[in-house]
Structure 1
Amino acid sequence: MQQSDSQTPSQLEAQYVARQALFSSTGELVAYELLYRDSPQNCFPQGMGDSKATGRMFFDLILLQGLEKVSAGLPAFLNLATDALLEQIPQLLPKDNTVIEIVERSRGVSELVHVVSALKKKGYRFALDDYDQDPKWQPLLELVDYIKIEMEPKLISTVMLIKKLRMVYPQAQIIVERIETPEQAKAVVGAGADLLQGYFFAKPAMLEFKNISPAKRVIIELLQLTMSAEIDFKEIAKRISVDVSLTARILRMANGLSGTRANISSLQQAVTYLGEQSIRRFIRVLALGELGAQKPAELTKLGLMRAQLIAELVSPAGKAMVEQGYLLGLLSVLDAVLDVSLENLAKEFSLDGALSGALLNAQGMLGQALNLAYACEQCQWPLAEEILQTIRPASEPQVLYAALSQSRIYCDKTMELLSD
């Protein structure tokens, strides 16, 4: 996207969304409509299409910040472009508190009918936005849960349309937007409108969040791929190849780890050399370094140290537990790296119950190992030795201090590779 004249570099470091309230006919706040913005100016960006706005708000804001946080726990009405609907992107959203708005500029109504029908069977709700009385919408009107109309210049025209829609489509709730006077509000409620929106009630309120750069999106996607039961090497190479800097860094790290610098000259070679187990850890280490590039280096060191320490401590439980422990250590610092909550990270990466429980509630062996790492970082040695006994009963304290020593060596070596 080209930078508009109104944007400054500092503004581009943030992500914006406008949130406009919807009220019931009795005046109760019941939902918010989320509107994409690219600057503190409270208006839709000029020259930006629906698809791009959908993508930017979807990834940068809703998936990482969490829909519940953005909508203050109320149902959220969210515009989705035709392409996003056809790709069934709504399935990434929680169906209980989301209403998908089909914009009036949507095309391919017959295709949309098929997708909407399928998603409604799964419990998703839909609204037809800015209904303009075009006959082409008739198949969708029979499916949607909400019909949004704007105030007409003549109040009587709006009143008559509400009554007509109430009679023909009784299954749908009628939302009237652009209400600007108490007379308009009273008239549309009297005609049967269910929800009301407009400057008379509230203007869109601006919210500002930390932005996630395109480069970081690639890293997050790679992290997600490493959490699958089976690694898709082709997909990983594809994601890496779109970023020249990332490709170069992976080759440097692979050469450094192999001890034969310059022998590995392609992504395929790097993947083949590392193998499935190593590529998981390799990408996770790289991810922490890349995502934390604008953060203090100590944060990256903390994540690496914590990850390796947990892996060392749970090693008697087997290879799978070691990998989970290592991942847990890295994830435990990503909230500070990305400025998002651990709860949202757990949802974003679809963590399994054991890993999520360990990260959020210190459950199980992994959770105790994470607590032990915290105790070591705070120099609470008696507590650390006590927790060690719950993870590895009858172990001597020397086991802990040896693991700490190995973790420091690993951290120093890895930081050197990251800084090459």
Structure 2
Amino acid sequence: MAPSALDDVLRTQRARDFFLARQPILDRDQGIVAYELLFRSAAAGPANVTDNLAATASVIAHAAELGMENVIGASPGFLNVDAAVLMNDIVPFLPKEKVVLEILETVQVTDDLVARVAELAQAGYVFALDDVVANSENVQKLLSLVDIIKVDISGMKHGDLGALCAHFKTQNKKLLAEKVENVAQFQTCLDLGFDYFQGYYFAKPLVLTGRKLSPSQLTIMHLMGLLLSDAATADIERTIKRDASLGLSLLRLVNSAGIGLTQRIDTIGQALIVLGRRQLQRWLQILLYAEPGKRCNAAASPLLHLATTRGKLLELMAERIKPGNRNTVDIAFTIGIMSLMDALLGQSMNELLEQISVADEVREALLSRSGIYGDMLKLAECTEHVERSNCSQVAELLEKLHLSSDEFNALELTAFQWSESVSRSTG
């Protein structure tokens, strides 16, 4: 496809209602190693894409608005491709060092297609086979040219899954389990030797009766409570001083290049004055997800990425819907960040909200997804789970919040960029 033809496709796509989503791909330590980039129609439902060439072109266009690295960070991006995309000159627009091309299960594997995949693989492109459920003839035709096999585990019997896994392992292929929706499924796939995992099992709260928070988590929760109740600065300072690691983290933060100070800050009291309560609260909310000692690196934590993206996205929506209203913006950010605390801490949201005093509108949004903040949170969740049928309400929510698809995509891309920068700073 010539550049002018690509421009025609992109102009057509901008006139339609679409939204971009990125789904994390995790390794065996549950650290993020890649993202799958998806582009779906908001008006017709999340999975209703009939023109994969147009959809892939749209992914390229929207990812390019901020730059691929700002959307997916240093990790590679997985993109769905069909025969129309593979046989077209659109592929060279994709940076081969940043993408993995997923060949859709619906592709008819012809000799011409095999030759094209071989040509692109020779040029340095990495391929995955998508939604594999059996060792089919199509799979066999492409097996020598692909590095990754994505296995759709939904509905598969344990014995069949184990046999399929063992077969591809003998072929030295990396295995990616997709549609992993709970911790039990993750553990099964881990035991079978899968290398990578895709699905939102990590964001589902696993409530553990009697679980105790770590000392740092308890301190952060206590500090958040003090801030929300407008406690005296002296009380906040004393609490931080009791946790040496927290105090050091605070001093590192205020002395970082991003703060822009000309002289070094050496005391907790000075740090609190420089940072201010609003930024202190945000820092604590983020730090809760980046607590040291977790199994995976903080910079690669999927919950940190998801929570910071949600927080920023809700903040940006609030700014757009109610410009100049700082209180609304702060509430929206807090709801986005707190919406995954149950998954992080292994407690029900009801239990968590008993420990922290929050406004009624925050409570209602977190517990029942009600009110304007609840609508914002539902919209963010829908675009994270684009394969779920209930996410056909994206268009309805956009209309309710008076946001166009173009506006929302721009906000989402900015939130992705901010989340990547936060993750790098906490790593």
Range of TM-score over shorter length? 0.3 to 0.5
Q: TM-score under structure 2 normalisation? A: 0.46
Larger relative CO (CA 8 A, sep 6+): 1 or 2? Answer: 2
Q: TM-score under structure 1 normalisation? A: 0.47
Structure (1 or 2) with the larger CA radius of gyration: 1
